[in-house]
Amino acid sequence: MSVDPSAAAQRLLAELLRFKTVNPPGAERPAQEHLAAYLRDAGFECSLLAAEPERPNLVARLRGELPGPTLCYLGHVDTVLADPREWRHDPFGGELIDGFLWGRGAIDMKSQVAAEAAAAAELARAGWRPRRGELLIVSVVDEETGGELGAQWITREHAEEVRCDMLINEGAGELFEVEGARCYGLCCAEKGVFRFTLTTSGVAAHASLPALGENALLKMAPLLARFAERSISYLPSPQSEALLAALGEKAGDPAPLLARLRAADERLAAIFEPLFGITFAPTRITASEKINVIPSRAELKVDCRVPPGGGASDVEAAVAQILGPAQGPEGERYRLQFTEQMPANASPVQSELADAIAGWLARADPGARLVPVMLAGFSDSRHFRAAFPDCVAYGFFPQRHQTLLEAAPLVHGADERIDVRDLAFAAELYRDLALAVLGSASR
């Protein structure tokens, strides 16, 4: 259908940016009610479902005439904090300046919410209905603090309202280049979280007589240094192997690709290297509670991320490889205790939905490649994959003017903004994807 959602997406995003939905406290109701009214006016059936009254989740549905798959466009409207003193323009102004819409959430992720909703609404206003299945627009709250009141709650308490076969969410899509090849990432997986505490033990003593004690903090120092020397342990996954293949490298060895990325831009290597294995990021260390006491115990908190297929035993093996064995000739060197274990989540690299996105990209940016990638962090996709194991979920918000290297530093940072040409580009994808997957009912 000849529907152009670009102007509608720009207007809607400007409106959404003016709602202050910083989480905590969130207070997303006004923004969600605005979005519900917008979609209801276009012909969607809308409901607001809330674990807490001021923080409702929006489910908007457009039904087809025949049975078929449910395609869900997912997004969240809560944001992280923005300090106006650190910004060049009002983070809650939704201002259009030099071709960019400025504001907290302009990339993460009110832009995608606006592009998805505008594309769907403009189709519906033009009379489009799915020939088969249905289109869902789901806008949730509370993503920035884990989704307890948002995606996690709604997939548990109202599963039938949001059950879907295919899902598009955040996670990838910005353009990056490797030796002149234009690439767009399709997020097929998200790494798991296996955080742990390392503990070293010693003997307490008065700090004025340090030789009478055994300083646990000094025992921790060489372990911390080894993490500084090596922060990743390579562990293959189906998704990382698919990425190597898509970029013309042999399976099992990311080193040549990483060398190519470093040659292009060190930042590209920094973004992609974590996708090939287990990462270790020491973030907190504690020892003596008093400055004049030699610590008998030191604890190091480590944020550890693990690709699909990996688990606690892989983490323990990698730690032993980096730090040496926990038990040495003179007894215990350190203890490892997991404090959080959340396995990775993933969808198949190849699917009908991936083919539809690849077909669209071939027409929208001829010569560009769609390559499977993994999110080093996690998003609300994990809740949908857990609740609906057969659901194929991808992260994809295509941006060709504001590249990966330009967009990534703005997420959760000051001066967050999006090129309106990319907003239009993404809206065109969501329009065309709905038509390709669900078809057009005869009217």
Q: What is the pLDDT of residues 145-163, one digit of tens each?
A: 999 999 999 999 999 999 9
State the sign of the Cα–Cα–Cα–Cα dihedral 80, 193, 350, 137.
negative
**What is the location of CATH 3.40.630.10 in the chain?**
6-178+345-438
**Per-residue burial over 33-57, b = 16 or more CB atoms within 10 Å of its CB, e = otherwise:** ebbbebbeebbbebebebbeeebbb
Distance of alpha carbon 135 from alpha carbon 424, whole angstroms: 20
Q: What is the pLDDT of residues 274-304, one digit of tens each?
A: 999 999 999 999 999 999 999 999 999 999 9
**In this predicted structure, what is the pLDDT of residue 1?**
65
**In this predicted structure, what is the pLDDT of residue 328?**
85
Q: What is the pLDDT of residues 234-263, one digit of tens each?
A: 999 999 999 999 999 998 899 999 999 999
Cβ–Cβ < 8 Å for 283, 227: no
State the sign of the Cα–Cα–Cα–Cα dihedral 205, 210, 211, 213.
positive
Structure tokens at 223: 């372990």
Q: What is the average pLDDT across 126-137?
A: 97
Structure tokens at 366: 């001829």
Q: At what angle do helices 110-125 and 6-17 cross, to 10 degrees?
A: 140
3-state secondary structure (DSSP) of residue 79: strand
Structure tokens at 128: 């489009």
Q: What is the mean pLDDT of the chain?
A: 96
Who contacts 331 (Cβ-Cβ below 8 Å, separation ≥6)?
none
The structural architecture, per CATH, of the domain 6-178+345-438 is 3-Layer(aba) Sandwich (3.40)
CATH value of 192-342 in 3.50.50.60, 1.10.260.40, 3.30.70.360, 3.40.50.2300: 3.30.70.360
State the sign of the Cα–Cα–Cα–Cα dihedral 92, 399, 360, 363.
positive
Lowest mean pLDDT among 167-171, 299-303, 328-332, 335-339: 328-332
In sequence order, what DSSP letters do the residues of 331-372 get, joined into one string? EE--EEEEEEEE--EE--SS-HHHHHHHHHHHHHSTT-EEEE
**In this predicted structure, what is the pLDDT of residue 329?**
83
Cβ–Cβ < 8 Å for 247, 178: yes
Q: What is the pLDDT of residues 345-391, one digit of tens each?
A: 999 999 999 999 999 999 999 999 999 999 999 999 999 999 999 99
Asked whether residue 442 carries a pLDDT value surpassing 70, the answer given is: no
Q: At what angle do helices 110-125 and 420-438 cross, to 10 degrees?
A: 50
Cβ–Cβ < 8 Å for 169, 394: yes
Who contacts 294 (Cβ-Cβ below 8 Å, separation ≥6)?
202, 203, 204, 205, 206, 207, 210, 212, 213, 214, 215, 288
Q: How many residues does the chain have?
A: 443
Q: What is the pLDDT of residues 18-59, one digit of tens each?
A: 999 999 999 999 999 999 999 999 999 999 999 999 999 999
**In this predicted structure, what is the pLDDT of residue 330?**
81
**In this predicted structure, what is the pLDDT of residue 441?**
82
Q: With bands split at pLDDT 50, 70 and 90, how would you rate the model's confidence at 331?
A: confident
Q: What is the pLDDT of residues 301-321, one digit of tens each?
A: 999 999 999 999 999 999 999
Q: What is the pLDDT of residues 67-103, one digit of tens each?
A: 999 999 999 999 999 999 999 999 999 999 999 999 9
**What is the location of CATH 3.30.70.360 in the chain?**
192-342
